Amino acid sequence: MRRREFIAAVGGAAAWPLAARAQQSTLPVIGFLNAASAEDYAQQLSAFLKGLGEKGYLDGRNVTIQYHWAGYRLDRLPAMASDLVHRQVNVIAATSTPAALAAKAATTNIPIVFETGGDPVQLSLVTSLDQPGGNITGVTQLNWEIIPKRLELLHELLPTATTIALLVNQTDSVYADMQSREALAAAHILGLELHVLNASSDGEFDDVFAKLIALRAGGLVIGEEVLFTSHREQLATMAVRHGVPTIYKGREFAAAGGLMSYGSDVKDAYRLAGIYTGRVLKGEKPADLPVQQATKVELFINLKAAHALAITVPLPLSGRADGMIDRQAPLNAGTGVVPFAGPGLASRRCVAGMATARPAHQRAA
């Protein structure tokens, strides 16, 4: 913060009426619980606050938010959820699947609004999407349903690759098993051999890529998991270094250097969760609020990664992309995203260009 801004902020705080400051203790309190970190989830938090604002609530003005970030330490979530219950917050906004499960286990009385990429019914968060029941409702991206589509997109990009791998984290066994079942069913339909690999920490990533090489896997689908999201740059770098075409969720993975990303617009899901949180604060019961689904999905392709992997992106696939990312180009330097400008763009950018290591999809051919 600049010196002038700091002085202005301090002056404003000093001038704030004592009555207004005293009012803070009487404001409704939201307990915000998340498995990740505030730094990594700044955009998602901004979207949540935007949704909350749409219902008339602003942190510090007419509501107080208690933030609990687990920093990707899932073992911390139960204690954090219990702390929010102990503080008797008015509502818990449990964003991310592990946070939602921890919040549900911690209370049956305090209202809970969740945000998850999984199926809330299969996760036992609710009994029904239309009639959640109990003290809990929320928003789902249903990213586990998108796993087959990610596999299909990778197959479209690499039609000669017959062996593909799926990376999951068995520490979150319920979520990992759901994603594995969906991917195995899709692989059977596509006529692909799918190997499910496990990594429970970033220290196991080297072993994962060693197995990929040994299996002669032509590509990798990364299952949705907070561990993988927190290490997306490392995974993207390792995938290109080892010549393994990889797809994951979220534009951030492609922006970090990954080949492709496909998934729900998570910011939209967080905004909807913010709206629901505001509605609960206004007196609506979670049991009466059907679980919402964020339906917007996005596809991004990283041209630099495609070039390094010697992949030519098919025109039909590039034509469906929401954005082409070229980290080498000066275009739109703030985001590295080149808005799609016609089907010729990807083919012009991605032809030829051999990586130092022979790409996996060519080794498997």
**Is the CB of residue 31 less than 8 Å from the CB of residue 84?**
yes
Q: pLDDT tens, 147-202?
A: 899 999 999 999 999 999 999 998 878 888 989 999 999 999 999 999 999 999 99
4 — pLDDT class (breaks 50, 70, 90) = very low
HSE on the CB side for 190, CA within 13 Å?
Answer: 25
Nearest of 141, 151, 194, 198 to residue 172 by alpha carbon = 198
358 — pLDDT class (breaks 50, 70, 90) = very low
**Cβ neighbours of residue 36 closer than 8 Å, sequence gap 6 or more:** 69, 70, 71, 72, 96, 226, 229, 230
The Cα–Cα gap between 93 and 35 comes to 12
Q: pLDDT tens, 38-92?
A: 998 898 999 999 999 999 999 999 999 999 999 988 899 999 999 999 999 999 9
The Cα–Cα gap between 209 and 306 comes to 18
Q: pLDDT tens, 112-150?
A: 999 998 889 988 999 999 999 999 999 998 666 788 999
What three-state secondary structure class fits 299? Answer: strand
Name the amino acid, one letter, at 359. Answer: P
**DSSP 8-class letter at 159:** T
Q: What domains can be seen in the chain, in order of their start residue? A: 3-142+266-293 (3.40.50.2300), 144-264+297-363 (3.40.50.2300)
Name the amino acid, one letter, at 19. Answer: A
pTM across the whole model: 0.73
**Cβ neighbours of residue 44 closer than 8 Å, sequence gap 6 or more:** 95, 266, 267, 270
